[in-house]
């Protein structure tokens, strides 16, 4: 999980604070020392940490906090505010041109994830009702052009290429003319990367910038490179000027140092984060939601957005009807499970649920995606009749299903029991709150 180490340490520190009825200045200072160490271990820039702690200390050791009835909570609130500020305060949106097409240029070092991010960004813009086109201006890595074309096919979006014999500046210019005639209102230019920031690359990028005057230059950096990512961002901003950052591979970055330092060091906001290799694994970066995740308070808003994007509203209505009629089958069960899995890796989803998002709890929960594969295999090994009427699945059928799905009879039994319980529970819910009276404490 992203920020795992930092989240665990901060949550431990604050648990101790919350446990105390009254706080002294010494208590707060000791806690802040732990926060400082945790941030440094998470590879946050040293100067950034020093400033951050100083700001919190000024606010937290004041009379207002120490004399309050819930001083521990107050300190956490201040840390939450300052963490949010550190990452940029509020989300930083893309700016669109008054007269289309809006030109977005992605730049960055080799392997940082530019081509993948071009596809992800195009997908997200399309979902927002835009008509994006992509321009393949990376002529040095021949596979990059093909890679972008494959992404374009999958997204059903145009990719403009001129092969690898024309100059990137000419390709970018021709690509924009193409977009204009093709009625595309946004173009994303995928540029070439180098291993290091060098003069040749910068000159080329500057020429493209000069010719096409992009509305947004977004730097793609790899979160897993930690403080190196921050240095690269600083250099690109000095030499080229950037509007913001796409921080990729945050899903693989347990420390989170780059995410916490980029804005403070470069002054430029993180606009998006990459949370996986799939095309829908791009999230708008919300500093407040990220701070909340780090402090174990969950991120319900992102969870709702993910659900809205991946759960089919029509199917949800159908399901509600089936529940009312008591017709919920194992096929529906499988369908539901698939829809939830479409929302992303389970540990990321669970990390957004308040209460479950405490790093410690998640570790104990042991999210086992393999078990979900087993359930899918078991249901797929049943006949349609069995899926609709699981009560008919007798001993010999259970044996056949276990054999067919490569699982054991116990696994099949467990699933059937789970399904029965789920169905019972859903029936109670679909019967409305009245029936629930006396069952749950808050209905009494
Ligand atoms: N886990 C994870 N992998 C990612 C993410 N973004 C990109 N990748 C992977 O990183 C690798 C490099 O991505 P590319 O998009 O090819 O990188 P590039 O910057 O275009 O590379 P060059 O064209 O060589 O400069 C690929 O294997 C991607 O699947 C992300 O957010 N999370």
How is the chain split into domains, by residue range? 4-86, 102-285, 312-350+368-443
Q: 370 pLDDT exceeds 80?
A: no
Per-residue pLDDT tens digits for 110-128: 999 999 999 999 999 999 9
d(CA 299, CA 352): 4
Residue 355 predicted with pLDDT over 80? no
- Mapped onto helix, strand or coil, the DSSP state of residue 188 is strand
Mean pLDDT of 30-46: 91
Helical pair 46-60 and 257-266, crossing angle rounded to 10 deg: 90
Residue ranges with strand state E in 44-196: 102-108, 132-137, 159-160, 186-191
Residue 219: CB within 6 Å of ligand 1?
no
Residues 41 and 6: their CA atoms lie apart, in Å, by 8
Write the CATH number of the domain with boundaries 312-350+368-443: 1.10.260.30
Among 259, 232, 237, smallest CA distance to 44 is for 259
Q: Is 75:295 a contact under the CB 8 Å cutoff?
A: no
Question: 74 CA to middle of ligand 1, Å?
Answer: 41
Annotated binding site: 108-115, 190-194, 248-251
440 or 155: which leads in pLDDT? 155
Task: State the binding site for GTP.
Answer: 108-115, 190-194, 248-251
Closest by CA to 217, choosing from 205, 231, 201, is 205
CATH 1.20.120.140 corresponds to the domain 4-86? yes
Order the strands of the 244-248 sheet from edge to edge: 159-160, 132-137, 186-191, 102-108, 216-222, 244-248, 270-274, 282-284
pLDDT tens per residue, range 168-204: 999 999 999 999 999 999 999 999 887 777 788 889 9
Nearest to 240 by CA among 212, 264, 290, 205: 205
Res 438: pLDDT: 39
ipTM of the complex: 0.96
Best of 136, 189, 245, 277 for a ligand 1 pocket test (most atoms within 8 Å of beta carbon):
277
Contact 382, 333 (CB under 8 A): no
Our mutation pick for probing the ligand 1 site, out of 111, 168, 273, 280, counting the most ligand atoms within 8 A of Cβ, is 111
Top pLDDT among 20 and 403 is at: 403
Interval 120-151: pLDDT, tens = 999 999 999 999 999 999 988 878 999 999 99
- 225 alpha carbon to ligand 1 midpoint, in Å? 13
What's the fold here for domain 102-285? Rossmann fold (3.40.50)
Task: Return mean pLDDT, the chain.
Answer: 85
Looking at residue 366, its pLDDT comes to 53
pTM value surpassing 0.80: no
């Amino acid at each position: 999980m992203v920020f795992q180490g930092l989240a665990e340490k901060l949550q431990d520190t604050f648990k101790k604070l919350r446990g105390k009825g009254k706080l002294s200045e010494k208590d707060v200072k000791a806690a802040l020392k732990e926060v400082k160490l945790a941030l440094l271990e998470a590879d946050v820039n040293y100067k950034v940490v020093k400033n951050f702690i100083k700001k919190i200390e000024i606010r937290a050791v004041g009379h207002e906090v120490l004399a309050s009835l819930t001083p521990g909570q107050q300190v956490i609130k201040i840390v939450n505010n300052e963490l949010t500020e550190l990452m940029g305060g509020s989300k930083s949106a893309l700016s669109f041109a008054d007269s289309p097409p809006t030109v977005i240029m992605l730049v960055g070092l080799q392997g940082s994830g530019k081509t993948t991010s071009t596809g992800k960004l195009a997908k997200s813009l399309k979902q927002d009702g835009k008509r994006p086109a992509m321009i393949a201006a990376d002529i040095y890595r021949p596979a990059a052009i093909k890679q972008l074309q494959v992404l374009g096919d999958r997204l059903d979006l145009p990719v403009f290429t001129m092969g690898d014999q024309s100059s990137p500046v000419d390709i970018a210019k021709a690509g924009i003319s193409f977009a204009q005639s093709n009625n595309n209102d946004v173009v994303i230019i995928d540029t070439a990367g180098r291993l290091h920031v060098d003069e040749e690359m910068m000159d080329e990028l500057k020429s493209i910038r000069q010719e096409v005057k992009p509305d947004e230059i977004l730097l793609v950096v790899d979160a897993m490179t930690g403080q190196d990512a921050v240095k690269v961002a600083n250099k690109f901003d000095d030499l080229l000027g950037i509007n913001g950052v796409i921080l990729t591979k945050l899903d693989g970055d347990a420390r989170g140092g780059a995410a916490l330092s980029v804005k403070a060091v470069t002054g430029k906001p993180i606009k998006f984060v990459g949370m996986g290799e799939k095309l829908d694994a791009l999230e708008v970066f919300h500093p407040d939601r990220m701070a909340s995740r780090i402090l174990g308070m969950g991120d319900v808003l992102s969870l709702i957005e993910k659900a809205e994007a991946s759960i089919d509203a029509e199917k949800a209505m159908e399901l509600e009807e089936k529940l009312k009629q008591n017709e919920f089958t194992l096929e529906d069960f499988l369908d539901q499970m698939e829809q939830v899995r479409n929302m992303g890796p389970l540990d990321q989803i669970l990390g957004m649920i308040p209460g479950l998002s405490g790093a410690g709890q998640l570790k104990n929960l042991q999210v086992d995606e393999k078990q979900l594969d087993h359930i899918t295999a078991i249901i797929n090994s049943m006949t349609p009749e069995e899926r609709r009427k699981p009560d008919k699945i007798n001993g010999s059928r259970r044996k056949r299903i276990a054999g067919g799905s490569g699982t054991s009879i116990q696994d099949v039994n467990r699933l059937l029991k789970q399904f029965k319980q789920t169905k019972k529970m859903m029936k109670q819910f679909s019967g409305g709150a009245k029936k629930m009276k006396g069952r749950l404490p808050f209905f009494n």
